[in-house]
Amino acid sequence: MDDVGRGGLPVVLVHSLAGSSAHWSGTLERLRPTRRVIALDLRGHGRSEPPKNGDYSMAGMAGDVETVVDMLDIRKFILVGHSMGGGVALTYAGDHPDRIAGLLLLDPIGDGSQIPADEAKTFLEALDTNYESTIQEYWRQIAGPDSTVRERLLSDLRATPREAVVRVLHEVMRFDPGPALARYRGPILSVVTPSNDASFSLHRLRNGFPYHIVQGTGHWIQLDKPEEFNRLLDNFLEATVNRKRER
């Protein structure tokens, strides 16, 4: 976990599958002069140990967020989640809507129930029978055009326990965001790639909510285009703080 900066409305950052707090290094440096910002390592990722009970559910990982913010005595904060971490962040926000001042979802996972059953089954079976080639090929497809970023992401993937990757992907395929979206009614924004603007995408569900599409990047927008992401985050933070002042 990284905990830097002082003052302002705190920001808590949640990484993707096979990611870590290190994926937020640019954002940490951007925000630390003006506010407190925390980037945590979810179970089985980065500097955190795998769970002894093998629980990689969204609810279980949302519990990691709860543990961190309670330990640091952070009562109200902006929550940012990337990819799988977007599902974790939404799950936490649905369980604790009163503690979330704003929710920014960075290319988050979508409604798993809309993934065709045969497609999900084929992919998950390939993971079981030929893990290395299946997962690395998938990562290369979504990693984007920057070869340096791609090699970093593949290195991070290799450093993540196979059990964590496989179990989380099973959870992603059955993730139901509906209950959390119904319970959380606060400020929310999705920042997505063009491929994540589909019927299953979170910002398209129910009545929808604001979103911004970033062009020319892979799934890890904050690594491919850090300045553009940080500008969007700055704008969201400013709008959230101003909204809070007006109440």
What are the tokens at 46?
A: 């980065």
At residue 246, the pLDDT reads 54
Give the lowest-confidence range in 36-40, 58-62, 242-246: 242-246
Secondary structure letter of residue 203 according to DSSP = G
Q: Residue 102's closest CA among 210, 216, 27, 195?
A: 210
32-56 pLDDT, tens per residue?
Answer: 999 999 999 999 999 999 999 999 9
What are the tokens at 129?
A: 């029978």
Asked whether the beta carbons of 21 and 12 are under 8 A apart, the reply is no
At residue 52, the pLDDT reads 93
Q: Is residue 126 packed enough to be buried (19+ CB in 10 Å), middle (13-18) or exposed (0-12)?
A: middle
What is the phi/psi pair of residue 37, to 5°? -140, 135
Query: For residue 180, how many other CB atoms are within 10 A of its CB?
Result: 22
Asked whether the beta carbons of 88 and 109 are under 8 A apart, the reply is no
What are the tokens at 97?
A: 């809507």
Domain ranges of the chain: 2-246
- Those residues with Cβ within 8 angstroms of residue 238's Cβ, 6 or more apart along the chain or in another chain: none
Indicate if the pLDDT at residue 109 is higher than 60.
yes
Mean pLDDT of 73-91: 98
2-246 CATH choice from 3.30.2130.10, 3.30.1330.10, 3.30.70.20, 3.40.50.1820: 3.40.50.1820
Question: Would the CA dihedral through 198, 219, 187, 73 be positive or negative?
Answer: positive
The alpha carbon of residue 66 and the mean position of all alpha carbons in its chain are separated, in whole angstroms, by: 15
At residue 247, the pLDDT reads 57
Give the lowest-confidence range in 16-20, 126-130, 133-137, 241-245: 241-245
Asked whether the beta carbons of 190 and 203 are under 8 A apart, the reply is yes
Mean pLDDT of 172-180: 95
Give the lowest-confidence range in 47-56, 98-107, 173-182, 235-244: 235-244
Share of the chain above pLDDT 70, in %: 98
Query: For residue 132, how many other CB atoms are within 10 A of its CB?
Result: 11
Report the distance separating Cα 42 and Cα 160, nearest Å: 11
Confidence of residue 29 (pLDDT cuts 50, 70, 90): very high
Confidence of residue 66 (pLDDT cuts 50, 70, 90): very high
Confidence of residue 241 (pLDDT cuts 50, 70, 90): confident
Mean pLDDT of 84-106: 98
Q: Give the three-class secondary structure for 192.
A: strand
Quote the Cα angle for 16-89-218, to 5°: 35
Mean of the per-residue pLDDT values for the chain?
95
Predicted TM-score of the model (pTM): 0.96
Indicate if the pLDDT at residue 17 is higher than 90.
yes
Question: Would the CA dihedral through 57, 72, 31, 46 be positive or negative?
Answer: negative
Confidence of residue 245 (pLDDT cuts 50, 70, 90): low
At residue 244, the pLDDT reads 61
Mean pLDDT of 112-129: 92
Report the distance separating Cα 155 and Cα 118, nearest Å: 30
Report the distance separating Cα 234 and Cα 8, nearest Å: 13
